[in-house]
Amino acid sequence: MDFQPLPHAFPFRFADGVIERTGPAQGRVRATVTADAAAVRENGFPAAALAELVAQSALLLEGGDAALGRKGFLAGISDFKVERLPVPGDVLTVDVAIAGRLGDAVKFEGVVTDGEGGAVARGAVTVKKGLA
């Protein structure tokens, strides 16, 4: 599958690419935790980064192009639970599905799992299409 990355660059781009699309704005995205190990040990992995990962995954599935990434942003987080914080080197999978839409605001439900299928985080994010 051709993959157009979001315009975010490391260290802010978390989603590597779409693994599979199972429907419109629904599918599976891969991410690799590349954070600096020493920084994570000192400060911990920011839990909010997992919500941003779900939002980036949703934007990839919603449009899959860099232009959409420049015109969309994380606008809300709800019922987001972190089971464990990832560590550098973890390869995460994000399953994302659209949960609702109201104008330019789109709510997605996402589940983040590790390479063994263990739960990392789950919850809903709202992505607003348009310029920040």
- Which pLDDT score is estimated for 35? 61
Question: How far apart are the C-alpha atoms of 5 and 65, rounded to whole Å?
Answer: 7
Residue among 41, 48, 50, 71 at smallest CA distance from 59: 71
- Which pLDDT score is estimated for 22? 85
Task: Indicate the SS3 state at residue 35.
Answer: coil
Q: Select 15-129's CATH number: 3.40.50.2000, 3.10.129.10, 3.40.50.970, 3.40.50.170.
A: 3.10.129.10
- Which pLDDT score is estimated for 69? 46
pTM listed for this prediction: 0.79
63, burial (CB in 10 Å: exposed 0-12, middle 13-18, buried 19+): middle
Beta strands in 15-104 (DSSP E): 15-23, 26-32, 72-82, 91-102
Tens-binned pLDDT, residue by residue, of the chain (132 aa): 454 555 555 556 677 778 888 877 788 888 877 666 566 666 666 788 889 889 888 888 776 554 444 567 889 999 999 998 887 778 889 999 999 999 889 999 999 999 888 999 999 999 887 665
